[in-house]
Structure 1
Amino acid sequence: MTESEQRLSLDTQAARRLATTTKTPPQAREITPRWLLRMLPWVDVAAGTYRVNRRLTYPVGGGRVSFYHTGARLQVIPPSLTELPLLHGMAAGEELELLARSFRQREYGAGDTIARAGRPADEILLIAHGKVTQFQAAGYGGRLVRGALADGDHAGGGLPGATWDFTLETSTPCTVLALPREELDALAARSPALRAQIERHHDRLARPRNKHGEAAVAIAAGHRGEHPLPGTFVDYDPGPREYPMSLSQTVVRVHTRVADLYNEPMDQTEQQLRLTVEALRESQEHELLNNREFGLLHNVDPRQRLYTRTGPPGPDDLDELLCRRKKSRFFLAHPRAIAAFHRECSARGVYPDSVELHGARLTAWRGVPVLPCDKIPVTRQGTSTILVLRTGEDDQGVVGLRPTAVPGQREPGLSVRFTGIDARGIASYLVSAYYSGAVLVPDALGALEHVKVAG
């Protein structure tokens, strides 16, 4: 070693032997902002079950029909036919099997007309695959888009002699299953159960109801004369939905040797519990969106499910979501869907708003924040869903549910309980998060589905 290479002071590597390092708490890539958990109003549930009472609403079906494939041939799954208004509430049996086999498969190309406004609505149509747009004549000429139908949706099946209120035109190649009314009538003539079901449906259509399908309240308005006032009452739904608490749980194990000897400058047990709680909260948000019982994505009313006009989410699509409800609090979308919305705005020369929320600058549309959430799935075809929510009990919106108190509560709805030390000196802690979610009225939650997010 030359004289120029000889060190004149202590080397940093040697100095570290007498020094400590500045450490961060353990970091985790899994942690996200969890905007849904932060923005939902939480209701404390004392009894463990939350019941949503509503006014009596006449059942009209409106869900989606399911299909199975045999090569290129499709057939409707018989029990799913009860999602049709005409067959809602009908028990599964031979009649549904016969109806399922009576549907005829048709293929349409993009731009074909399936039904035309004003023509007799003499068949029931099931959209097995593809997208169909509903048009009607506009007040000043041209055509007005009424909505869209996609996989599992249906049209027709009203009263005998009814006509189409709109024109059905395919936006993509479509596969449609059709049941002519003559064939339905022929089946009903041979089946007393089906005939009784059709008569019940016609009876439901004749009952007075408001535009939301609820039993109407008779009211007299006006101040002239002395007319007898109508008598009325508000009937309740005889089968209100109940939401039991769901939970996410795990057991955290920490060896007592680690907790005793390696506890400075950070508490090892506390850091283990902190990261576990973060993972439980991530699981909670995922379940609130994706759980098949109470998850928001599975509890959107069929009449509140919309489709994009062109594929990517544009300003028109978000406007359509907003106009379906009052007091929309926020949108919830995958970050890739938000990026696709920005691309559409840029292409049209439109600039979305921005708002500051909890110290973060976020995209907004018409003053309603668009919150990112990576728990909303993106399909292999590059499509996703955008949700819009009205929240809070006072506004008959969407609410989160949690127990009023639990033993060992660390945070609202979350408990940490020490469960003992085993023969190997390992201490165990049971970590539990209790939660659920409820949609108080159907129009509190809307969804824009099949949103194209691939660039």
Structure 2
Amino acid sequence: MSDSRTAHDSRTSLSAQAARNLATATVTVPQMTEITPRWLHKLLPWVDVDGGVYRLNRVAKAPKGRPANEFGEVKVDLLTVDSGEPRLPATFVDYELHPREYHLSTIQTIVHTHTRVTDLYSNRVDQLREQVRLTIEAVKEREEWELLNHGQFGLLKEVSAGQRIETRKGTPTPDDLDELLTLVWKKPAFFLAHPKAIAAFGREATRRGVPPPTVHLFGSPFITWRGIPLIPTNKLDIDRAGKTTILLLRVGETHQGVVGLQKAGVAGELEPGLSVRYMGTNEHGIASHLVTRYFSVAVSTEDAIARLDNVSVKFYHDYVYPKG
């Protein structure tokens, strides 16, 4: 019975040996290389979704024969009056009959900790607290990846065809980022790119004699272009050919930008949209805690986001210095 229980424990929860090492051999909490600053989560304004569904209402596209603006939306009929008393136009703004609905996505896992382990080996470091902390960090890392890459609402997928461009020569040049700014010119907030893509842009800008200036946010330095910071994330993949994508975002509901969606006020909440619930202790003495994160992301209007594709990170310049 003892051998069976020990095998069961080792498969489902922290081993006693690992907990003992943490409790007696060190005074530092466990470290995890996967953890990143997750700037995207910090820079996105978050909206609390009531009822689990976020309905995005937009102006309807103009039907055939009705005047449209440059975005194909129903045009508001207006008249500029300089003198006299002309007959004023009558108008109204039409909305989509079937607005898009965003249903919150869920990331969940169950943390198993043996009560014997947490009771005996929590003298220096709280074993349960650290298990939950590191699990939450992993959940948040997964969330940021989903915000960008999810097949239904990820930001890479949400960029419309008219908001996508490619680099002129493969490497990300100042010209390419300027072209991106023409697509999101109404209060652009930040570029989002893989660290290697940011380094590649820095090489191109420096090559042209315009090294990017630096700004400090959250106590960390970021290079900028035209005053817009380039925010690094390793959740934008680089393919085998060394190609990746750079995004440019406008954020916030008031600016008709990109917003994060979450459900606050759930049971066992540690922070908005993230909860840890005790699920009980089984016959093997293993306590279970359910970790849950409810989230999504929405793009208010098409011109709130644009992407630069075919970004090569593998090109380096050879500099020739004069002799003597």
Same fold (TM over 0.5): yes
The alignment status of 1:402 with 2:258, answered yes or no, reads: no
Q: Following the alignment from structure 2 to structure 1, what is the Cα–Cα distance between the partners of residues 249 and 68?
A: 26
Deviation, structure 1 residue 207: 3.0
Structure 2's unaligned 5+ residue stretches are 1-23, 316-324
Q: Following the alignment from structure 1 to structure 2, what is the Cα–Cα distance between the partners of residues 375 and 317?
A: 21
The alignment status of 1:333 with 2:169, answered yes or no, reads: no
| Higher RCO, Cα 8 Å, sep 6+ | 2
Secondary structure of 1:342's aligned partner: helix
Letter aligned with residue 49 of structure 1? V
TM-score, normalised with respect to structure 1: 0.63
How does 1:15-54 map onto structure 2 within 5 Å?
22-54=26-58
Q: Following the alignment from structure 1 to structure 2, what is the Cα–Cα distance between the partners of residues 51 and 454?
A: 42
Q: Write out per-residue CA displacement over residues 256-278 of structure 1, whole angstroms, 9 at most, x where no aligned residue.
A: 00011001111100000000000
Deviation, structure 1 residue 226: 2.1
The alignment status of 1:258 with 2:262, answered yes or no, reads: no
How does 1:41-440 map onto structure 2 within 5 Å?
41-58=45-62, 204=64, 206-324=65-183, 325-440=185-300
Q: Following the alignment from structure 2 to structure 1, what is the Cα–Cα distance between the partners of residues 265 and 48?
A: 8
Percent identity between the two aligned chains: 53
Q: Following the alignment from structure 2 to structure 1, what is the Cα–Cα distance between the partners of residues 131 and 110?
A: 11
Secondary structure of 2:231's aligned partner: strand
Q: Following the alignment from structure 1 to structure 2, what is the Cα–Cα distance between the partners of residues 37 and 233?
A: 38
Letter aligned with residue 223 of structure 1? D
Deviation, structure 1 residue 21: 5.6
Structure 1's unaligned 5+ residue stretches are 1-19, 59-202
TM-score, normalised with respect to structure 2: 0.88
Letter aligned with residue 27 of structure 2? K
Q: Following the alignment from structure 1 to structure 2, what is the Cα–Cα distance between the partners of residues 408 and 259?
A: 20
Deviation, structure 1 residue 348: 1.2
Deviation, structure 1 residue 22: 4.8
Moved more, 367-376 or 341-350: 341-350
Contact 2:167-2:311 at 8 Å conserved across structures: yes
Secondary structure of 2:102's aligned partner: strand
Letter aligned with residue 45 of structure 1? V
Secondary structure of 2:74's aligned partner: coil
Residue aligning to 1:16 = none
Letter aligned with residue 370 of structure 1? L
Secondary structure of 1:250's aligned partner: strand
Deviation, structure 1 residue 330: 0.6
Q: Write out per-residue CA displacement over residues 26-64 of structure 1, whole angstroms, 9 at most, x where no aligned residue.
A: 000000010100110000112110001111124xxxxxx
Q: Following the alignment from structure 1 to structure 2, what is the Cα–Cα distance between the partners of residues 229 and 334?
A: 53
Q: Following the alignment from structure 1 to structure 2, what is the Cα–Cα distance between the partners of residues 21 and 37?
A: 35
Letter aligned with residue 312 of structure 1? T
Contact 1:353-1:366 at 8 Å conserved across structures: no
Q: Following the alignment from structure 1 to structure 2, what is the Cα–Cα distance between the partners of residues 434 and 454?
A: 37
Secondary structure of 1:47's aligned partner: helix
CA RMSD, aligned part only?
Answer: 1.2
Letter aligned with residue 296 of structure 2? S
